[in-house]
Amino acid sequence: MKQITDENIIKTEYSEIMQKSYIDYAMSVIISRALPDVRDGLKPVQRRTLYDMHELGIRHDRPYRKSARIVGDTMGKYHPHGDSSIYDALVVMTQDFKKGLPLIDGHGNFGNIEGDGAAAMRYTEARLQKVAQDGLLADLDKDVVDFVPNFDETEKEPSVLPAKFPNLLVNGSEGIAVGMATSIPPHNLGEVIEATKAYMKDETISTKGLMRYLKGPDFPTGGIIINKDELLSIYKTGTGKIRVRGKVETEKLKGGKTNVIIREIPYPMIGANISKFLSDVAALSEKKTTMDIVDISNQSSKEGIRIVIELKKDADVDNFINMLYKKTRLEDTFGVNMLAIHEGRPETMGLKSIIRANVEFQYRVATRKYTNLLEKEKEKREVQEGLIKACNVIDLIIEILRGSKDRAMAKKCLIEGETKGIHFKSRESEIMAAQLQFSEIQANAILDMRLYKLIGLEIQALIQEHEKTVANIYRYEDILSCKDSMRQVLIQELDLMKKEYARKRRTVIDNCEEAVFEEKKAEEMELMLLMDRFGYMKTIDLSTYERNKEAVHQENTFVVRCKNTGKICVFTDQALLHTIRVSDIPFGRFRDKGIPVDNVSNYQSSKEEILLVESQSHLNLHRMVFVTADSMMKLVDGAEFDVNKRTVSASKLSPEDRLISVHLLTEKTGIVLRSKEGYFLRFPIEEIPEKKKTAVGVRGMKLSAKDKVEEVYYTQTGEEQRILYGEKEVDLLLIKNGKRDGKGSKIKG
């Protein structure tokens, strides 16, 4: 065992080690997992999944294979980062509502646009789409890209797929790395190809020029992009925000009613946001933001999205649609950040940069492809020329073969003209054999040639094949030596891709005016707010309250008169004020359950206790008394709590203290504090100073070290008020009147 000495110890700063390690980790995540490569538009997990399916032979014209088989093989050979990441990538590549051009053909439940997840991988099956084979995997056998060792160096995998079109633009990409994220919208294949061709023909073309061909994103869900004028800036910089609206139709019904039908949704709405949209529309009706909704139903199916909202007779349809755009996610924003791996590092790229990188990659791929094809054709030409030459002297070659002792002797004669040891019929044949000069490749082809090749038709076919080979060599040399010729070949391939796989644009691009929604002001009316001991609240009208007055007060902890346009203030023992709009509280019948206060405010029932519930308009007219367990107290003007925030601090507390009483001061003149140890202190309310809500207050009662104020009572001169303390009844007005900050009198319960 090696002994550790000072010479073996490397001293360094801990912070430097952490910084280097984190940077290494971050770059690994960025390059190897989270971000797509600009050349083929794929993340490593997507590339490996497609390549594995290619290697397994799961082509578009062959039977489906279990997804679990594909995932397991990919994980075992190329991507050792867990099966869920591989299956998630596979699922997304099958979903036509997420990808502009799905690369995998899924069979089974691969989820839907409404956010339902895919079935487990053991149930679903998949195979490659034809476009993936033709556009991404077609030339892998021609040595057009570099192959690198896999994670354990037992297999080889392509560093990038030879994409024939800018897949990064066609399918888009989303991913979160360390300290950065990418969000690239999908585009129309036909438009992307036309823009790519335009760049190939004129590399000085501007982004604006490219956008004559590529109009903007083409989302699989359709919709309307409403900020057309901002797209040029987005495509120049690679960042920005695209505003998308759903497509809405109207349908007239009998009786003057109208149905509003949503046929296409904004791309960011796919998934769980569809159900959220439905609940948001329902909430608009519950909150009285609109009174026009009769019914809402989701009639979406495999045929597409269909959300139907039935409106009342004579409803203002245009204003209602504008309300949907303003108040729900029917108009949403897609944040664009075109971040991709370019030349081994992350880079935010504009439209022209992405197309340029892809075109340069296509030129490199084509150069390797035609260089390899040229070499193969030259080898083929050499063999063909040897066979044609051999056919012209076939009798001599047969004589050499019959006179040779072994293959090596015959081969040496064919290549070098060495006749020693070979038996010839005549001297003339020997002289002719000495003049043969076939290449080694030609000699092997001659020696391997079968006798049927000597048939006249076969010889004619060989000559024709040779002519074709010579033509191919000429063509490949022209492609490799002339950029215009190579450009023409690439453009032809792009045209073939467009002809077979392009489809019509789904997303409309326009400049639309801002949606203006005129919210009808609710007619002001007085209501009664009811809150029971479980924190459920509701509002009822005054007539219902009057009919059930006794039951209302028996069954509810707080009963507050308020206006439907006003606010409710909820004070808790943690000195917090929660403000709730009355319009957010459901209005209904007396026996309705209501809604938990937690649902319409930041109140946390597990941490707070409600002390007072009152309307804001009532608070504005009165002062309030605050008393804490440590006997700190103050008067505060109720108008100080007229705030717009949902939650604010209602008072300042010292550590470990809490409010025990918040009281709206009306006609009361006296206050009585009772401590835990049984001390009662009575004094006039005038002795409590008025402070701001941010103040701690003054001491109301002297307490021993372990004593706390437990109860607060308020008295009115001339009104008898008795309380039960323990087993003893106490008349509060008979307690000796003292001064604030006294100890008070002890009463035994």
Please list the active-site residues: 123
d(CA 286, CA 49): 48
Residue 620 contacts residue 562 (beta carbons within 8 Å): no
d(CA 353, CA 203): 11
d(CA 222, CA 625): 59
Of 727, 702, 700, give the one whose Cα is nearest residue 712: 700
Strand partners, 685: none
d(CA 272, CA 265): 13
CB atoms within 10 A of CB 310: 18
Apex CA 503: angle with CA 499 and CA 509, to 5°? 130
**Residue 1, CA distances (Å) to 4, 7, 8 in order:** 9, 16, 13
Residue corresponding to tokens 């949606």: 515
Residue 569 contacts residue 616 (beta carbons within 8 Å): yes
d(CA 745, CA 737): 10
Sign of the alpha-carbon dihedral angle for 326, 330, 335, 336? negative
Apex CA 385: angle with CA 379 and CA 390, to 5°? 130
In three-state secondary structure terms, 627 is strand
Question: Per the structure block, which two tokens stand in for 80?
Answer: 């050792």
Cα Rg of the chain, angstroms: 42
Residue 103 contacts residue 129 (beta carbons within 8 Å): yes
Question: Per the structure block, which two tokens stand in for 468?
Answer: 């074709």
d(CA 733, CA 192): 88
d(CA 593, CA 610): 19
d(CA 167, CA 37): 10
d(CA 6, CA 465): 76
Q: Give the number of residues written for the chain.
A: 749
First to last CA, the chain: 81
Residue 78 contacts residue 48 (beta carbons within 8 Å): yes
Q: Which residues, in sequence order, are CB contacts of 439 under 8 Å at separation 6+?
A: 382, 386, 415
**Residue 459, CA distances (Å) to 385, 449, 464, 656 in order:** 12, 12, 9, 105
Of 451, 386, 385, give the one whose Cα is nearest residue 415: 386
d(CA 532, CA 578): 17
DSSP alpha helix (H) spans, 664-711: none
Residue 329 contacts residue 276 (beta carbons within 8 Å): yes
**Paired sense of beta strands 632-637 and 567-572, if any:** unpaired
Sign of the alpha-carbon dihedral angle for 375, 381, 387, 389? negative
Apex CA 235: angle with CA 231 and CA 238, to 5°? 125
Residue corresponding to tokens 């509280």: 585
**Paired sense of beta strands 307-311 and 610-615, if any:** unpaired
DSSP alpha helix (H) spans, 393-406: 394-403
**Residue 736, CA distances (Å) to 62, 291, 632, 679, 709 in order:** 98, 60, 21, 12, 18
